[in-house]
Amino acid sequence: MRFVRPPAVALVTGASTGIGRATTFALAAAGFSTFGTIRTNNDADGLVSDATAEGLIVRPIIADVRDSESVRTAFANVVEAAGQVDVLVNNAGVGATGVVELTPPSQYAHTFDVNCIGAVRWIQAVLPGMRERRRGCIVNVTSASGRVASAWQSPYVASKWALEGLSECLALEAAPFDVRVVVIEPGVTLTAAFDKRASRILGTGGPYAPSLARLGRYVSAGLAQPTAPAVVGQVVCDAVTAQKFRFRHPCSWSGVELTRSRARTSDEAWIALAAIDDDDEYARAYEQLTGVDLSS
């Protein structure tokens, strides 16, 4: 797979905050001509002023990943301004907390539309040009939750697993055209999305209260020692520019540990972990299995 060098044109979705903003800054600092999608004009000033304060140029583009026409228009605007897109970073996403029994189907539909189908809309816009030029890189920001399931995150986990599978299909399809496809799998990262998720998991939880509390314990432990978005942004930049191709890039607090430990753990052992009644015993077993300390 070819790597992409500056001053190539990079486009990052969901650039107004968190990992998306950090990624636009990392790519701009590396010399890429960088565009970041935002949903409204209200987000543009903050993105531009923060970039300027760091001596960077980032150009905001309005786009809604849920709207195919919005994506087509945004892509056309970037092509008009810069000629082409060499790097696409599908970062825009939403968190969603819930158990299968109690989560309405509409929540699954919304989560999939943003986290997976939104990426498809952008891929279908940029890939024809990359394929014809035999040059380009598509980065899909999934999650450690795209490899490791947990209770109370079924809409989010399902959407990220779908994006992982789609990414692998895409990598196979794009390889003959020298287009690089990579996935970034963050664990807990200090973003607004994790703050919102932390607030959503507070509550009784009904019959699933014990597993809700354990999810809260995991998030609290991660937020006590979180990874900054800039770290993930640099992982994205490195994945794009590395001469040696690597498909998956786990990162952030617990990301590497969970993906590696889950790969070597049987399904039965992983599921048996959830059946442990005592919370302290569960935390000890979880750390023994994964290497992740749930203390906060």
CA 50 to chain centre: 22
CA dist., res. 117 & res. 167, Å (int) = 12
Q: How far apart are CA 195 and CA 118, in angstroms?
A: 23
Residue 222 CB neighbours (<10 A): 23
Edge to edge, the sheet with strand 136-141 lists 58-62, 33-38, 9-12, 87-90, 136-141, 179-186, 248-251
Cα–Cα distance measured from residue 165 to residue 171, given in angstroms and rounded to the nearest whole number: 10
259 CB contacts (<8 Å, ≥6 apart)?
Answer: 144, 147, 148, 185, 248, 250
Residue type for 101, please? E
**Six-digit token string for 147:** 């490899």
d(CA 141, CA 232): 10
Residue carrying structure tokens 């990414």: 167
**Tokens matching residue 109:** 């539909």
Tokens of 152: 């109370």
The burial class, CB within 10 Å (0-12 / 13-18 / 19+), for 206 is: exposed
- Count of CB atoms situated within 10 Å of the CB of 209: 11
The one-letter amino acid at 13:
T
Active site (catalytic) residues: 156
Residue type, 165: G
Element housing 272 (H / E): helix 267-274
